[in-house]
Every structure is written in C-alpha cells, then in structure tokens.
C-alpha cells in the first residue's frame, strides 16, 4: 500500500485552499448584497412612480 510521506504539505495546501474559498465567498457576498440593495431601491422607486 502507498504511504503518504508529506501529509503536512497536503494538509497545509488543503487549509490554504479552504481559506481562499472562504475569502472569495465573503467577497461575493459583499458584492451580492450591493446588488440586492440596488434591486430593492429600484423596486421602491418604480413602485412610487407607478402609484404617483
């Protein structure tokens, strides 16, 4: 059977990858919240125009 000799390298690479994914998720969330807020504002203004 094959024995992994560099488990520390594999482990640190995995952890670094998870950290990068979490950072990317946070960045995406901040940008998505901008678009959700923008969509809400536009909907309110359109609603106000249609009622007015």
Are 10 and 4 in contact, with CB atoms under 8 Å apart? yes
| pTM for the predicted model, two decimal places | 0.57
Question: What's the confidence (pLDDT) of residue 10?
Answer: 81
Question: What's the confidence (pLDDT) of residue 23?
Answer: 97
Average pLDDT (9-38) is 92
pLDDT, one tens digit per residue, over 7-18 is: 788 888 999 999
Question: What's the confidence (pLDDT) of residue 52?
Answer: 73
Q: Distance between CA 1 and CA 24 in Å, rounded?
A: 37
Q: Distance between CA 47 and CA 39 in Å, rounded?
A: 12
Pick the closest to residue 27 from 37, 15, 19 (CA basis): 19
Question: What's the confidence (pLDDT) of residue 2?
Answer: 66
Enumerate the H helices of the chain as residue ranges.
Answer: 7-51
């Amino acid at each position: 059977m094959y024995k992994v000799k560099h488990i520390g390298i594999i482990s640190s690479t995995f952890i670094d990858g998870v950290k990068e994914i979490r950072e990317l998720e946070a960045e995406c969330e901040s940008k998505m919240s901008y678009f959700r807020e923008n969509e809400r504002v536009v909907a309110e203004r359109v609603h106000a125009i249609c009622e007015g």
